[in-house]
Amino acid sequence: MSTLVVQIPSRSRLRSSADGAEAVASGLATDYSYVSSPDGLALEAQGHCAASLLPKATTVIAVLADTDVSWHRITLPKAPAARLRAALGGVLEDALLEDADDVHLALAPSAVAGLPTWVAAVSRRWLRTELAALEKAEVFVDRVVPMSWPDDPPIGHFAETEVDPGSAAHGIALHWAHADGVASIRLQGGLARALVPAPAPAETRWSATPGAVAAAEQWLGGPVRVMAPGQRLLQAARSLWNLRQFDLARRNRGTRALGDSLRKFFSPDWRPVRWGLAALVVAQVVGLNLWAWHQRNAIDAKQLAMQTLVKATYPNVSVQDVQRDADAVMQRETQALRTIAGKPGDVDLEPMLQAAASAWPADRPPVDTMRFETGRLTLTAPGWSDEQVGQFRSLLRTSGWVVEATEGRLTLSRARPGASS
């Protein structure tokens, strides 16, 4: 499953967010650093480009800079899921620099109510604007993760940073993540020395960008592992954190997955597949039409054979009648010949009485009354038990008769061809 990790440009703090400057800054920040990985572990490609040119991937993860996330340690309040965000705002109201409604909050993975936990705080308007800018370019972010988070053992990462916003000069900053929080401090001055214990814990993991290695080793007095920005992005993507919570949680993954699948299907790489499916559909349609044509010819041949037989057997019948319904003509003419010969047909009274007599129970008296219509014979049978009616019906069924029993009457008729009793 391919993964795309995108670095969200650091939030501009030159102007107040009230005048919409953040939205403008986000719109101008069209250059994104990114890395891609086939499995989330190995780095496959990296670069900088506009949002619309970012490579496609199964999963997209956005990473926030260290300075864009603040961290707060609280005891997680016991509140229903629908009211948890409001409860967090109440607990953190005095600790936040902005109004609680203007801050997006996210809980640590596996947070448990009633126990201490970490809460990440981000500017809601800024983060929403950044996500909207990516979605406008059809880059749909599945997870938002911080670059650093409170961790133990500590992690110290040295990286180049602007000395002043808009300046070409660069300094070195230390991003210090430990059990008590996350801090980003420049090496110039004594604040970094005051923040980092001396000596630092032996298990501390130190790293630095290639441009900051020399300064980091001089500051630490020892070797530092080199970690390029792309490698750090990929490392952050493996975090269990996900800042897309509460009102920023993903709710349209199914729709987006369908849209991604459709875009992939209609991409140039899938053109052979589309041609193959089109050829398969055409072959199916042609095959069905050929089969229907074959079946129609077989039916027409059988109808022609029947019409020929009827014409040969009954030469006096008009051609129009034979073409209209050869089967009905044959039955009618056969019945007429039988009548002339004095032989009863299957739907006449005599064969029906003989059939009824052959199955009549020996312990039942003769029938009192009867009613005959062509093809139907109704006999009175008062006092018959269900067993006698069942036996009467089963004996006649083998000869092709159907027996209906209703309110002391038995009605015989010929079973329709293909009908099941």
| HEC per residue, 80-134 | CHHHHHHHHHHHHCCCCCCCHHHEEEEECCCCCCCCEEEEEEEEHHHHHHHHHHH
| Angle of helix 386-397 versus helix 349-359 axis, rounded to 10 | 130
Which residue type is seen at 344? Answer: P
Angle CA 193–194–195, to nearest 5? 95
Please answer whether residues 177 and 196 qualify as being in contact, where contact means their C-beta atoms are separated by less than 8 angstroms.
Answer: no
Least confident of 67-76, 152-161, 363-372: 363-372
DSSP for residue 186: E
Residue 19 pLDDT greater than 60, yes or no? no
Please answer whether residues 99 and 43 qualify as being in contact, where contact means their C-beta atoms are separated by less than 8 angstroms.
Answer: no
Residue 106 pLDDT greater than 90, yes or no? yes
| Angle of helix 271-313 versus helix 326-341 axis, rounded to 10 | 20
- Band of the pLDDT at 418, cuts 50, 70, 90? low
Residue 390 pLDDT greater than 80, yes or no? yes
How many angstroms separate the CA atoms of 33 and 65, rounded? Answer: 12
Please answer whether residues 341 and 333 qualify as being in contact, where contact means their C-beta atoms are separated by less than 8 angstroms.
Answer: no
Alpha-carbon distances, residue 271 vs 53, 57, 261, 263, 406 (angstroms): 21, 19, 14, 12, 68
Beta strands 376-380 and 370-373: pairing type? antiparallel
pLDDT digits (tens, 9 = 90+) for 157-185: 999 987 554 544 468 999 999 999 999 99
Alpha-carbon distances, residue 411 vs 378, 387, 390 (angstroms): 4, 17, 13
Rounded mean pLDDT of 329-348? 70
Please answer whether residues 73 and 93 qualify as being in contact, where contact means their C-beta atoms are separated by less than 8 angstroms.
Answer: no
pLDDT at 27 (0 to 100): 47
Structure pTM? 0.59
Tokens 């008729």 — which residue?
A: 413
Between the two ends of the chain, the Cα-to-Cα distance in Å is: 59
Rounded mean pLDDT of 151-159? 93
With b for 16 or more beta-carbon neighbours within 10 A and e for fewer, the 301-332 pattern comes to: eeeeeebeebbeebeebeeeebeeebeebbee
How many angstroms separate the CA atoms of 87 and 105, rounded? Answer: 11
Q: Between the ranges 205-209, 298-302, 359-363, where is the mean pLDDT highest?
A: 205-209
How many angstroms separate the CA atoms of 157 and 66, rounded? Answer: 11
How many angstroms separate the CA atoms of 170 and 184, rounded? Answer: 15
| Beta-carbon-side half-sphere exposure of residue 99 (alpha carbons within 13 Å) | 5
Average pLDDT of the chain to the nearest whole number? 84
- Band of the pLDDT at 28, cuts 50, 70, 90? very low
pLDDT at 76 (0 to 100): 94
pLDDT at 271 (0 to 100): 86
pLDDT digits (tens, 9 = 90+) for 223-263: 999 999 999 999 999 999 999 999 898 866 566 667 667 76
Which of 120, 114, 112 lies closest to 95, judged by CA? 120
Rounded mean pLDDT of 70-93? 90
Beta strands 116-123 and 103-107: pairing type? antiparallel
